[in-house]
């Protein structure tokens, strides 16, 4: 009897671009993609962080280059993609949060969160997809969403607005891009301990409340998210598009 071949998670010969790649989930994603064989382009606003991250991946035997890029600058984003070959994988990870009750949200808060989490994600994905289409490159767009793109949360009106928008955006991208062999999905984590979220967890009551809502009983770490990213980047997810992979420890299950 001939057994069916197992799915491959290897990414040899593929180019992967990760935004917000200097630390946290972005850095973990870049390291995992490089370990799977991809040539990784790390993008962030901080030169020290992104260059240090790329060097660490090279020191570990991977292929990586770091680039300074403000993804909220649409012109710079378009120029970046025009200057190099199309990626096979985009990890649309750059994001921010300003947790406040809705009555304290200012226009500056709105602009900061929605411009990075949604507008920049849209135009980075657009530029990547256009380059992929032009070169006939099939591949995977992976957008870092959140469980807060599926449920509401106190003091999270801006963040929820951006992540619910990202979920709808990805589904529509999946429909537009399917004829070109380009898949679009989101990964939606629960609370992950990163440099961005660590100050929030200094509040013991907040940390206890979060852990009580995560059915598996712990806060996540960046490595919990990278398995989902690697899966969606690989041929193992070749028939997966227009969906969201929740990595939430059961938060949204009830």
67, 110, 159, 231: the catalytic one is 159
Judge whether 231 counts as a catalytic residue: no
Residue carrying structure tokens 């193992």: 236
Please answer whether residues 160 and 152 qualify as being in contact, where contact means their C-beta atoms are separated by less than 8 angstroms. Answer: yes
143: how many CB neighbours lie within 10 A of its CB? 29
Strands (E), the chain: 15-19, 39-44, 63-68, 89-92, 139-144, 182-189, 244-247
How is residue 237 annotated by DSSP?
Answer: G
- Please name the residues in contact with 225: beta carbons below 8 A apart, sequence gap of 6 or more: 25, 28, 29, 144, 187, 189, 192, 247
Distances from the Cα of 111 to the Cα of 44, 46, 65, 68, 192, angstroms: 19, 21, 30, 22, 24
Please identify every residue annotated as catalytic: 159
């Amino acid at each position: 009897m001939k057994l069916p071949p197992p799915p491959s998670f290897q990414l040899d010969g593929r180019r992967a671009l990760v935004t917000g790649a200097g630390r946290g989930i972005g850095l973990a994603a870049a390291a995992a993609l490089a370990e799977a064989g991809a040539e990784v382009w790390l993008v962030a606003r901080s030169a020290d962080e992104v260059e240090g991250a790329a060097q660490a991946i090279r020191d570990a035997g991977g292929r990586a280059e770091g680039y300074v890029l403000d993804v909220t600058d649409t012109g710079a984003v378009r120029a970046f993609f025009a200057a190099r070959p199309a990626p096979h994988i985009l990890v649309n990870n750059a994001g921010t949060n300003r947790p406040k009750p809705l009555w304290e949200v200012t226009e500056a808060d709105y602009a900061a969160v929605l411009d990075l989490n949604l507008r920049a994600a849209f135009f980075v994905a657009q530029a990547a997809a256009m380059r992929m289409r032009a070169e006939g490159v099939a591949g995977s767009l992976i957008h870092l969403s959140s469980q807060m793109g599926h449920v509401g949360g106190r003091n999270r009106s801006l963040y929820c607005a951006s992540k619910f928008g990202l979920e709808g955006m990805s589904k529509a991208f999946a429909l537009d891009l399917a004829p070109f062999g380009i898949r679009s999905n989101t990964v939606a984590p629960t609370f992950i301990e990163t440099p961005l979220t660590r100050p929030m967890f200094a509040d013991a009551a907040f940390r206890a409340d979060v852990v009580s809502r995560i059915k598996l009983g712990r806060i996540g770490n960046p490595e919990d998210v990278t398995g989902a990213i690697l899966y969606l980047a690989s041929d193992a997810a070749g028939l997966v598009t227009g969906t969201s992979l929740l990595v939430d420890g059961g938060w949204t299950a009830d």
